Structure 1
Amino acid sequence: MTGTDGGAETGPAGVTAIWGRAEQQDFRSRVRGCLLGGAVGDALGAGVEFDSLDAIRAAHGPQGVTDYVTAYGRRGAVTDDTQMTLFTVDGLIRAHVRRDTGAWHPPTDVHAAYRRWAATQRDWGPDERREEDGWLAREEWLYARRAPGNACLTGLADDRMGTLENPKNPGSKGCGTVMRSAPFGLLVGWEPQLVFQLAVECAAQTHGHPTGCLAAGAFATIVHGLARGESLDAAVQRTLVQLATRPGHEETTEALKHALGAVRQGMPSPERVAALGEGWTAEEALAMGVYCALVAEDVRHGLLLAVNHGGDSDSTGSICGNLLGAIHGETALPPAWVAELEGRSTILELADDFAMEMTQGPALHGPAGASSAWLSRYPRA
């Protein structure tokens, strides 16, 4: 990033990115697009997540779902996919703020954020949240169970953090790693291999199977390329090169190659999406989301393609939405869907905070002083 009249972000490799004002605005739009797009895709799939394609068509017509359908008592409701994604963002901001103290271990901060999410799945509300939990954990609407994956719940049931050497649920490769990992890719001041590694290490906190971890790393790296202005095809190709160096990459690599191959096989259709899998496992959800984003005529077309299949529709919709939002920014999202989206104001507030931390963090906190309002939102504890 080059420019003037902007802030600076220093990545863990010590490389400082200088942000011009136009670059800051572009980055904020991509962050907003990525988080809102993922939530919109999640909400579109939420009401049909466990239905077959035949059942979806019988209930909603030959085109399947073409708009939000009621889920969890309302239209536009999001699931655990969006909930966990938001807490990933929260953990990454907290990691950057805590660096002022000399502590720099982002997986620990992300794990603490995931533990705050886990509390929303068992507590009635935010009444017992402490000041050091920050503002996101006090958002009452997040205290709702939306079909969370068992591996996410059991992996975060105690305070031991899973690591690559000693992961939680070592046999699990569910898509719960991928659907929450887009925010790692928004660390545009980091080198791609570090983004990949962080996503992999944080995936091991709940899903220890190599495919579960590597698919999360691959997704984060693809988003990273998009946030830096690469095309989706180029970002996938670059990610495949990085995957090839990792033991146990074969399932994730093959899934992404199948997604690329499907693009050349003819007009996109639900049946072609279904040929890539059902999306319950990490590599299948990644491949399906990537394929739908690659063939999307526009955001609406891509998202509807991503949710109209007999599998994990909310996760594949979320992944596709993260990708399309990172490519096009938030103004490309269908406004009626954004307007009806549950938690929209929280998502936008968090997106803007993340963009501000990444581009203007040194003006918010540092050895010489800090904004008390910022530290109240993102405590160093």
Structure 2
Amino acid sequence: MSQPAGPGPHFVPRAHINPRFEEDLSFHLVSGPDRYASTTELPVRYVAVADAKGTVTGYVWANDEDGAAGQIDRRDAGHQAVNLRPRLTDAKARGLAPTAVLQELVADAGPGHLVAGPVATAPHLRLLDELADRHAPGRRWSAARGALLGLAVGDAMGRPLSNLTMDRITATYGDWRRMELPLYDGASVRVSDQTQLALATAEALADVAVRAPLTEAEARHSLTTRGALPAPPWLTPDAATTALRTHLVRWLRSPDNDRSPGRTTVDACTALERQVPWQSATALASKGCATVVRAAAVGLTPYLSGEQRSGIAQLQSALTHGHPTALAASDLAAHAVHLLAHGHEPAALIEALRAHAAASRWTYRADWLGDLAARAGAESPSAYVAQGWDECLTALDTVAAALATKDPNREPGTAVGAAWTADEVLAGALYAFLVTDGPRWTLRRAAHTSGASAATAALAGALAGAHRGPSPWPREWQEAIEYRERVDALAKAWDRD
């Protein structure tokens, strides 16, 4: 009688397998139409492709040196994506150089495939993946908490310095490297209306935008039937507008609204309270800086599609400040926070923002903005938004030039401009974030400026916090900041993934 097998692993004898079965398979095209190469490591030329409504659905790219061309569809485009791949195959058969196809697309743009703007350049295909929202690395742990705390702390540091000259700032607070969180009364550190409005925007979006993520089965079904994960279908322009209007009016009537808020914002919110169309309430000629700080909350909101993120960022700005530069700068601020919260490297941030601006230059988001361009007297909707994107592209160029010397002792107002406008505050915040070597230095550099200290430091703090999370902010700073309980509530909802 055989003995039972003792303890330990048992192995099943392996049957002989023909070694040919274990070889890596290689495929060779033996028939079919000739095609351009499908990838390249070199810079590419590209055009944005939009559907009949003007919504960008993807990008067609080309590189002559490698004989390569292709199409990248936006992650949220699904079956709405305009398929131009047959055009590429036909062009190859006709012997056209890859970039000549792009020129044909620009010349032949029609209702079936609108080309949104001229041919642009990207340094590599990865940048187009980011534009198409396909890079999608995991969200950083506690990105929302880090960004909202950074925004509030930066605002608190900059608030006492606003409206002071550089001589007065230096005489009162000393060298920028020695600044700390301003002294407080033992209870909390008061922030300005910048934080109040950013939290109002965040809470409005938390009301309507955040739902539990799709289950694996739901996501698989959506990918199978639509070719993309769906944008939250409940987050419509009407729903976002109603929520934002409600929370802005609530801020207007709050007893805490005692921080000398901007007159433009107060007047617009007063008009919004009367339930007039919001396009009648906004200040069409204003591009004030409050909008870019509020936009940080849009960049932190989870589960949004790229189109929703841009649309809401522009909408929340347009409710109070209707100038196209305010809209474009807010879109860029939200995009920057989103990228950093998802692991984008700061060294490549300006490059990514320039690409986003160039790809968005001719896109008027009518679903979100309505007839705003017509009310502003613009020649056309695309000409209206192009003005704002052009000013923001100039601001990004200014930041890139200022960073070339990497001199953190050069204050933001001198480096990139001291105007209290959305584009220059965005530039100042980006400069302070990228010229310094850590979040605490970022806040000190951003607050110690001849520009809008509170707004610049608040947005710079949001960028640094989205990138690094809450750990760089000292515990005593976190505990002292005003509205800590509201930050905690948002972080609990938004950082769960």
- Could you tell me which residue of structure 2 aligns to residue 267 of structure 1? 407
Distance 1:161 1:284, change over 3 A: farther
Displacement of 1:162 in angstroms is 6.0
Among residues 176, 198, 205, which one is paired with 1:92 in the alignment? 205
Partner SS for 1:305: helix
User: Which residue number corresponds to residue 252 of structure 2?
Assistant: 118
- Between 30-39 and 148-157, the greater mean CA deviation after superposition: 148-157
Distance in 1 (CA, whole Å) between partners of 2:428 and 2:303 is 28
Shift of 1:167: 6.4
Structure 2 CA distance, aligned partners of 1:227 and 1:41? 18
Query: What's the TM-score, normalizing by structure 2?
Result: 0.59
Q: CA deviation at 1:14?
A: 8.2
1:194 is the counterpart of 2:308: yes
Task: Identify which of 287, 290, 294 aligns with 1:173.
Answer: 287
Pairwise mapping of residues 77-226 of structure 1 onto structure 2 (< 5 A)?
77-96=190-209, 104=236, 105-120=239-254, 124=255, 143-158=256-271, 159=273, 160=275, 168-226=282-340
Which residue of the other structure, out of 228, 241, 260, is the alignment partner of 2:355? Answer: 241
Percentage of identical aligned residues = 30
The 3 A distance-change label for structure 1 pair 252 and 71 is farther
Q: Which has the higher helix share?
A: 1
Matched, 1:66 2:179: yes
Structure 1: give runs of 5+ residues left out of the alignment: 1-10, 18-22, 125-142, 360-381
- Structure 1 window deviating more from structure 2 (71-80 vs 153-162): it is 71-80
Over 3 Å counting, the alpha-carbon distance change for 1:152 and 1:74 in structure 2 is farther
Instruction: Give the letter for the 1:69 counterpart.
Output: P
Partners of 1:80 and 1:113 lie apart in 2 by 14
**What is the aligned partner in structure 2 of residue 291 from structure 1?**
431
Whole-Å separation in 1 of the counterparts to 2:447 and 2:277: 31
CA distance in structure 1 between the partners assigned to 2:234 and 2:486 by the alignment = 30
Cα 1:118/1:108, change in 2 over 3 Å: same
Change (3 A) 1:117 1:266: same
- The offset of 1:272, in angstroms, is 5.2
The amino acid of 1:86's aligned partner reads L
**1:188 Cα deviation (Å)?**
4.2
Residues 293, 261 of structure 1: alpha-carbon distance in 2 compared, 3 angstrom cutoff: same
Q: Distance in 1 between matches of 2:391 and 2:281?
A: 19
Q: Deviations over 1:297-328 (max 9, x none)?
A: 11111110001112210110001000000000
Distance of aligned partners of 1:161 and 1:318 in 2 relative to their CA distance in 1, 3 Å threshold: farther
Secondary structure of the 2:407 match is coil
Of the three residues 42, 47, 53, the one matched with 2:155 is 42
CA shift in 2, pair 1:75/1:279, >3 Å: farther
1:150 is aligned with what amino acid?
R
Query: Greater relative contact order (Cα 8 A, min sep 6): structure 1 or 2?
Result: 1
1:322 to 1:271, Cα distance in 2 relative to 1, 3 A? closer
Output the CA distance in 2 between the equivalents of 1:108 and 1:119: 17
Q: Which deviates more from structure 2 when the two are superposed, residues 50-59 or residues 102-111?
A: 102-111
Question: Alpha carbon RMSD of aligned pairs, Å?
Answer: 3.0
Which of 229, 243, 253 does residue 393 from structure 2 map onto?
253
TM-aligned CA distance change 1:166 to 1:229, over 3 Å: farther
Q: Kindly indicate whether the alpha-carbon contact (under 8 Å) linking 2:284 and 2:322 is maintained by their aligned counterparts in 1.
A: yes
Measured in 2, the distance between the counterparts of 1:176 and 1:272 equals 18
Q: Following the alignment from structure 1 to structure 2, what is the Cα–Cα distance between the partners of residues 354 and 84?
A: 18
Corresponding residue of 1:305:
445
Q: Contact between 2:209 and 2:234, CA under 8 Å: does it hold in 1?
A: no
How far does the alpha carbon of each residue in 1:126-152 deviate from its partner, in whole angstroms, 9 at most, with x for none? xxxxxxxxxxxxxxxxx2421211111
1:323 correspondence with 2:436:
no
Q: CA 1:81–1:112 in 2, change beyond 3 Å: closer, same or farther? A: same
SS at match of 1:213: helix
The structure with the largest alpha-carbon Rg is: 2
Q: CA deviation at 1:13?
A: 6.8
- What is the aligned partner in structure 2 of residue 30 from structure 1? 143
Q: Which runs of 5+ in 2 are unaligned?
A: 1-74, 80-132, 212-230, 362-385
Quick one: structure 1 residues 14 and 74, their matched pair in 2 at CA, closer, same or farther if it must change by over 3 Å? farther
Query: Within 1, Cα distance between the matches of 2:282 and 2:301?
Result: 25
Matched to 2:179, the amino acid is T
1-side partners of 2:183 and 2:328: how far apart? 34
Corresponding residue of 1:56:
169
Residues 267/117 of structure 1: CA separation in 2 closer, same or farther (3 Å cut): same
Query: Shift of the alpha carbon at 1:273?
Result: 4.3
TM-score by length of 1: 0.75
